[in-house]
């Protein structure tokens, strides 16, 4: 066959075939590239999240070839994504909030922390739409659960009534306020002027409520493991003190 | 308020879209509205989320619709005032990215005089 015939066969038959094949292959390749790109991100949670998010985005790109282009764009953005997702300090509106999170060694979204630190008197005075009460409610549950869990596991032989008594000795307003005072929580609470003038910054009820709200905020934003971690850091000294003095009392009475 | 990273023009575009947009903004839609490639918009959104200016959540998936879900982005109570302040400083007059009003495109009589 002449060279012209070969060129004809190549351009008229093979090339369209190859292009059609490539066209069918594109979406598959694009998906593979996106999945691979997402897997290059640091944290497992990020990998799972962006894989789904990017695939959703990819599925909305029309055309097979442009879908491949979009996939390559995701692959090219991986270094910037990794930089973006690196652990960073949150941008707190109030510098004292940045101080508080570093004192407590927690990570919590600034807007959530702000809600948790907002006493209802401040919200009322300033017309803010949020106060800490919702976070107090959930923080109260988390605190009770974590303390009970710690007592339950570390004292397998303790009778029920003792267990309940020990928990009540750890989870009460006065004990909570004492813990709050160890890191001067009062300085960070957002109070109305009136409440502040009446000594609200050192009032046990406000300190205890705010501490619960912070635990609640960490739970809502970061999950139970982080909230439990914080609770244990703050309350383990109180727990061991309680069990210590309770054991002594039992020795004396027994 | 310091963001802790250099704020690029693309970041300003994204913030502008988030300020003006509805509550169902996902990555691709934001990229289109901002006139920026997704490869640049996703890292910006991730960064803004890391500093707490932006929050995101999965779209509620209906059981009938299987497949990957979109993720909706919106400014947090910290991000909205921050973005307004930043745009006010960096962009004296709000620049519109869409150059032609829709009415001009839709109505030839209005467009060509």
| pLDDT of A22 over the 90 cut | no
Is the Cβ–Cβ distance between A41 and A82 less than 8 Å? yes
Q: Are B1 and B85 in contact (CB under 8 A)?
A: yes
* Domain end marker among A85, A113, A141: A85
Whole-number pLDDT of residue A21: 81
Chosen for mutation from A31, A77, A82, A117 (greatest number of chain B CBs closer than 10 Å) is A77
Across A210-237, average pLDDT: 95
The model's confidence at residue A229, banded by pLDDT at 50, 70 and 90, is very high
Most distant CA atoms of chain B, gap in Å:
51
The enclosing domain of A247 has a CATH number of 1.10.1520.10
Instruction: Using DSSP, state whether B73 is helix, strand or coil.
Output: strand
Q: How far apart are alpha carbons A181 and A116 in whole angstroms?
A: 17
Shortest Cα distance, chain B CAs vs residue A205, angstroms: 27
The strand ranges marked E within B1-113 are: 25-26, 54-58, 71-75
Which residue range is the domain that position B75 belongs to? 9-59+68-94
Same domain, A129 and A203: yes
Whether residue B71 and residue A53 make contact (CB cut-off 8 A), yes or no, is yes
The span from the CA of A243 to the CA of B2, in Å, is: 46
pLDDT of B77 over the 80 cut: yes
In a domain, residue A90? The reply is no
Residue B54 located in a structural domain: yes
Cα dist from A92 to A88, A220, B3, B90, whole Å: 12, 18, 9, 21
Cross-chain residue pair B38–A70, CB shorter than 8 Å: yes
Nearest Cα of chain A lies from the Cα of B89 at a distance, in angstroms, of 17
**Is residue B99 one of the residues assigned to a domain?**
no
Task: Tell me which of B45, B46, B66 to substitute to probe the interface with A (most A C-beta atoms closer than 10 Å).
Answer: B46
CA–CA dist B111, B113 (Å, integer) = 6
- CB–CB of A233/A143 below 8 Å? no
Burial of B41 (0-12, 13-18, 19+ CB in 10 A): buried
pLDDT at position B108 is 42
For residue A229, what are the domain limits?
95-253
Q: Is the ipTM of this complex over 0.85?
A: no
Q: How confident is the model at residue A248 (pLDDT cuts 50, 70, 90)?
A: confident
φ and ψ at residue B71, rounded to 5 degrees? -120, 125
Chain A residues lying within 8 Å of B43, measured CB to CB: 77, 80-81, 83-84
Number of domains chain A contains: 2
Work out whether strand B71-75 and strand B54-58 pair parallel, antiparallel, or are unpaired: antiparallel
A85, A106, A133 - which closes a domain:
A85
Active site residue A212: yes
- Is the pLDDT at A5 greater than 90? The verdict is no
The label of the residue with tokens 């289109």 reads B32
Of A52, A85, A118, at which residue does a domain stop? Answer: A85
pLDDT tens-digit readout, A110-127: 889 999 999 999 999 998
pLDDT of residue A7: 84
By C-alpha distance, which of A174, A210, A217, A212 is closest to A189? A210
pLDDT tens for each residue of B35-65: 999 999 999 999 999 888 999 999 886 656 6
A196-214 pLDDT, tens digit per residue, is 999 999 999 999 999 999 9
């Amino acid at each position: 066959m002449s060279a012209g015939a070969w060129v004809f066969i190549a351009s008229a038959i093979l090339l369209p075939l190859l292009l059609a094949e490539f066209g069918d292959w594109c979406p598959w390749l694009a998906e593979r590239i996106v999945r691979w790109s997402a897997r290059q991100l640091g944290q497992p949670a990020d990998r799972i999240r962006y894989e789904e998010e990017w695939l959703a985005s990819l599925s909305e790109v029309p055309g097979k070839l442009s879908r491949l282009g979009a996939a390559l764009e995701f692959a090219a953005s991986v270094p910037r994504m990794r930089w973006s997702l690196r652990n960073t300090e949150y941008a707190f509106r109030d510098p004292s909030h940045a101080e508080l999170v570093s004192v407590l060694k927690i990570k919590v979204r600034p807007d959530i922390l702000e809600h948790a630190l907002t006493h209802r008197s401040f919200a009322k005075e300033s017309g803010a739409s949020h106060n800490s009460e919702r976070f107090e409610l959930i923080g109260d549950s988390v605190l009770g659960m974590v303390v009970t869990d710690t007592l339950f596991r570390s004292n397998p032989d303790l009778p029920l009534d003792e267990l309940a008594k020990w928990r009540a000795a750890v989870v009460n307003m006065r004990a909570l306020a004492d813990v709050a005072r160890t890191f001067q929580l009062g300085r960070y609470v957002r109070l109305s002027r009136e409440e502040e003038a009446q000594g609200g910054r050192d009032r046990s009820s406000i300190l205890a409520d705010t501490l619960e709200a912070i635990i609640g905020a960490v739970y809502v934003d970061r999950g139970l493991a982080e909230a439990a971690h914080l609770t244990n850091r703050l309350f383990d000294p109180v727990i061991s003190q309680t069990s210590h003095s309770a054991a002594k009392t039992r020795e004396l009475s027994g | 308020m310091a963001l802790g990273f250099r704020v690029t023009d693309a970041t300003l575009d994204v913030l502008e879209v988030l300020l003006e947009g509805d509550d169902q903004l996902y990555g691709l839609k934001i990229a289109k509205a901002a006139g920026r490639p997704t490869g640049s918009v996703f890292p910006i959104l991730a960064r803004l989320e890391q500093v707490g200016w932006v929050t995101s959540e999965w779209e509620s998936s209906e059981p009938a619709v299987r497949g990957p879900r979109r993720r909706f982005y919106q400014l947090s109570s910290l991000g909205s005032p921050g973005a307004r302040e930043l745009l006010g400083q960096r962009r004296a007059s709000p620049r519109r990215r869409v150059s032609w009003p829709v009415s001009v495109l839709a109505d030839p009589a209005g467009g060509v005089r």
